[in-house]
Structure 1
Amino acid sequence: MENPVFEKRHVSLFNKSKEVEDAQRIRRSVIDCFEKASLPNTSEEERKRLLHFVVVGGGPTGVEFAAELHDFVTEDLAVLYPSVKDYVSITLLEATDHILNMFDKRITDFAEDKFQRDGINLKTGSMVVKVTGKEISTKERATGETKSIPYGMVVWSTGIGTRPVIMDFMKQIGQGNRRVLATDEWLRVEGYDKIYALGDCATINQRKVMEDIAAIFNKADKNKSGTLRIKDFQEVIDDICERYPQIEIHLKKKKLRNIVELLEHAKGSEKENVELDIELFKRALAEVDTQMKNLPPTAQVASQQGTYLADCFNRMELCETYPEGPLRIRGTGRHRFHPFRYKHLGQFAPLGGEQTAAQLPGDWISIGHSTQWLWYSVYASKLVSWRTRLLVISDWGRRFIFGRDSSRI
């Protein structure tokens, strides 16, 4: 995507909200737009601009914000500002062909249909190229045409920026050309065994199978014959699956049970005494590394990483060692703990109107009002204390009865 140009004077553009203060600023900005639009000397054209809210990014954050903004405007602010409610419009810009691309297509289709019914203007294939104080310019991917859209407030939800303290640290350790810190599978900053990083400030650099293919083959080839029997390969299977999780993903995609079946499939035989040479071994694993993907910068990932590191630190002097990198295969080193492995527990996408879409393990898809209550339950269960849970649940109750808070506090 092209890097958009921002003018310094745009006061109504907000990055993805990360703090309570950010959310409060967004709410104040929405209310300010309604206040200005309600002034008697405001022209009709200016009212349309002020009450045009643009959300950039069709991922879970952008979709949820657009849905919540629609509910806030239509259910609460329209009652307080009835004279200008007909001027309100919400536009969601997405550079790709669909919103919620990381979800099942059934969820994507439902979300797009619901936004259309709700009157949210969904513009896919639109890349933001420039933002000024009153207009946002987009380039249509299909035609190359550039359009300018007047707005009252823009919320940017296509990604997050790196904190200054992290950027300074990255420059000090020679990672200044990266977007986030690079760590190994034990969440250690690359090149610094005693510094750990987790969450959306870092990404795991998973080692590729093909980088160590010769070492793996030589480890299994004990008699150094240059060929490898599949049945002799059993000894290193556990180490390889431990070290290279992309193999397991590849096996699931191919609907194979283990590496042995992958090698037999490549050889075209199911006999355990079939011999493989290094070239056939390479061909069998050639597509494995294409399954490597960076973990999403979500709270679910950060929470599991925090639990993993806490467990590692608490048992640092008690644990056995496990293969570190290709070192065990090469016979030169080990590590105390298993590498970090992320377990995806599902994801939710609130769509407004007390409806939510959920994609859970096992390809289970749920959409609608009942899923909203499931989301409430999961959200409350993940809060850190019973005090916080009670406060949040009471806030939900007040919202159901009295509506959302429309004050500027």
Structure 2
Amino acid sequence: MAGASGGGLVAYADARSDLDLASSHGPTKKKVVILGTGWAGTSFLRNLDSSLYDVQVISPRNYFAFTPLLPSVTCGTVEARSIVEPIRNIMRKKKGEIKFWEAECFKIDPANKRVHCRYTTAPNSGWTDEFLVNYDYLVIAIGARANTFNIPGVEENCHFLKEVEDAQKIRRSVMDCFERASLPNLDEDERKKNLHFVIVGGGPTGVEFAAELHDFVSEDLSKLYPSVYGLVKIEVIEAGEHILTMFDKRISRFAEEKFQRDGIDLKTGFRVVKVSEKDITMTSKSTGEFSEPYGMAVWSTGIGTRPVIVDFMKQIGQGNRRVLATDEWLRVCGCDGIYAVGDCASISQRKVVEDIAEIFRIADKDNSGTLTVKEIQDVLEDFCMRYPQLELYLKSKRMSSILELLKDSKGDAMKEAIEVDIEEFRKALTDVDSQVKTLPATAQVAAQQGSYLARCFNKMKDTEEHPEGPLRFRGSGRHQFRPFRFDSSREVRMNGYRLTVEEEASLDVQLVEVVRHGGSRSYSGFQLSVLCVHKRNKELVKIDLQKDFAFAYFSFERCKMG
């Protein structure tokens, strides 16, 4: 993107002078360094009271990209510039001075509280391309990379769909496949090969792209390439038995039926073992190993760990994990002053069973060895705040309170004067931790984590004297903040099916429409207002969709020119 690249060159000139002046800040402000300008990092920056801190942002990307619409960019429905917002536009609306370095962090040094960075484009002659940035607080929000599972040929021969540049490459590749298939002196098998589009991975991104591509081919390219349109094959390969397996079975079934009606070939239970320049090799229990030719392949099989995170996890004793472990306050476990949000981290929720004795001890104020209804009610709010799985478990059992759970455990009628000992208390709560779930790696989760962490930073000083969090069941006093909880209060409806926000978040709002209609061209104004972060982007996307509907030809040209 020319605009983004141009902004990046300006950022380098600013960065050099700011580095020299970094020491001019007074000692009163703590330095907050933000790594990344994705959903989590940008959400943190938007919501942070930057007048309270010396804020520095480091990212190889000097813009924020609205990633749920990347599949729409691949087919020209939406232009790339419509889904990006320059990070400096966000910065200039904030209080105080914020610095931005267009650079990549390649090493985190927690012992010395600094990060090692390098410029992402060649600097002027005589400059070193590496520099150090010290921090008091570090917010890691660098996301994740595509997970190839070390399968031979994937990196070299497949497209990914993580960045705006990825979407633009896919857009050009689709058009190139159609142009190659239209060349003279090709036999039908060669034309079929060029028009065989393979999507590996049946998760949200893969499903969205397959639906968008089907729309684009059937509604637009069929008119431009009528002689070869009938040879197109869109194929989704999924190692599991169903697509969208992480969600409600009804959603998975609905999407599979929609793909079947649209003629999208769905191969479930197939695992890709090799990708060459011309063929993709896969295996299944029923067929064994075989290869088939393809024209373009898009790899969308989940997220992998970035090298800087792998190195950092080894330093802090988390080397056997896939992502960083944080506590419920998004603090990296085992580190001081380091937070991680978004796809690069996962919350390690503390289990109720680990703290049963401490919870019982604090609730048993009269040291009688039993808990009364009143004693339970006195700690119930703190209990639910500290262990959100309790509330989820009660909902799953259609119970309104923990008292019903205790009643069910004791097997008798609940009375006001009922008392439970520690063994009865333990028995009632044995299965509560079954509701501990890992949050999906989605834009909605990352954005909520970023805004939550910013609110904590804004109240850091006040809550040191007046903590607002739950009781410390292991220790004394209260936690400084309420722990992070993903907001699952909203619901959407899809053809009579009800989705909670956890399901909506993992599908992204766009996927609801994609599954219903086969593509994002059917967005209503309401959905656009939900999806787009900035007013400018919302209006640009609306214009793109209106142009696409009224003058479809221009979308074809954008596909080639993007």
TM-score when normalising by structure 2: 0.65
Q: Which residue of 2 aligns with 1:150?
A: 293
Alignment partner of 1:68 is 2:212? yes
SS for the counterpart of 2:179 is helix
SS for the counterpart of 2:242 is coil
2:449 corresponds to which of 288, 291, 305: 305
TM-fit CA distance, 1:363? 10
Write the letter of the residue equivalent to 1:286.
T
2:187 corresponds to which of 43, 48, 59: 43
What does 1:360-379 align with in structure 2 at a 5 Å threshold? 368=516, 377-379=526-528
What does 1:264-303 align with in structure 2 at a 5 Å threshold? 264-269=407-412, 270-303=414-447
TM-fit CA distance, 1:399? 0.9
Report if the CA contact (8 A) 1:357-1:368 is conserved: no
Question: Given the superposition, is the C-alpha separation of residues 347 and 19 from structure 1 closer, same or farther in structure 2, using an over 3 Å criterion?
Answer: farther
Report if the CA contact (8 A) 1:54-1:153 is conserved: yes
Cα-to-partner distance string for 1:79-100 (whole Å, 9 max, x where unaligned) = 3323221221011122223223
1:389 corresponds to which of 528, 538, 550: 538
C-alpha separation in 1, matches of 2:182 and 2:531: 41
Q: Give the alignment's Cα RMSD to 1 decimal.
A: 3.1
SS for the counterpart of 2:462 is coil
Cα-to-partner distance string for 1:110-142 (whole Å, 9 max, x where unaligned) = 32222112110112222223323222233325x
Q: Which residue of 2 aligns with 1:316?
A: 460
Report if the CA contact (8 A) 2:393-2:435 is conserved: yes
C-alpha separation in 2, matches of 1:236 and 1:215: 12
Write the letter of the residue equivalent to 1:6.
I
C-alpha separation in 2, matches of 1:130 and 1:29: 21
SS for the counterpart of 1:341 is coil
C-alpha separation in 1, matches of 2:154 and 2:357: 57
Question: Given the superposition, is the C-alpha separation of residues 282 and 372 from structure 1 closer, same or farther in structure 2, using an over 3 Å criterion?
Answer: farther
2:259 corresponds to which of 115, 120, 124: 115
2:235 corresponds to which of 91, 94, 113: 91
Q: Which has the higher contact order (CA 8 A, sep 6+)?
A: 2
Cα-to-partner distance string for 1:25-45 (whole Å, 9 max, x where unaligned) = 111121222222222233322
TM-fit CA distance, 1:206? 0.4
TM-fit CA distance, 1:348? 9.0
Deviates more, 1:177-186 or 1:223-232: 223-232
Q: Which residue of 1 aligns with 2:319?
A: 176
Alignment partner of 1:128 is 2:272? yes
Question: Given the superposition, is the C-alpha separation of residues 329 and 137 from structure 1 closer, same or farther in structure 2, using an over 3 Å criterion?
Answer: same
C-alpha separation in 2, matches of 1:13 and 1:126: 17
Write the letter of the residue equivalent to 2:541.
V
Q: Which residue of 1 aligns with 2:479?
A: 335
Q: Which residue of 2 aligns with 1:352?
A: none
C-alpha separation in 2, matches of 1:131 and 1:348: 39
Report if the CA contact (8 A) 1:219-1:330 is conserved: no
Deviates more, 1:245-254 or 1:217-226: 217-226
Q: Number of paired residues?
A: 399
Cα-to-partner distance string for 1:157-185 (whole Å, 9 max, x where unaligned) = 12122233333332333323221111111
C-alpha separation in 1, matches of 2:208 and 2:177: 21
C-alpha separation in 2, matches of 1:298 and 1:375: 22
Report if the CA contact (8 A) 2:528-2:538 is conserved: no
TM-fit CA distance, 1:342? 0.3
SS for the counterpart of 1:91 is strand
2:369 corresponds to which of 226, 229, 237: 226
SS for the counterpart of 1:359 is strand
1:203 corresponds to which of 346, 351, 354: 346
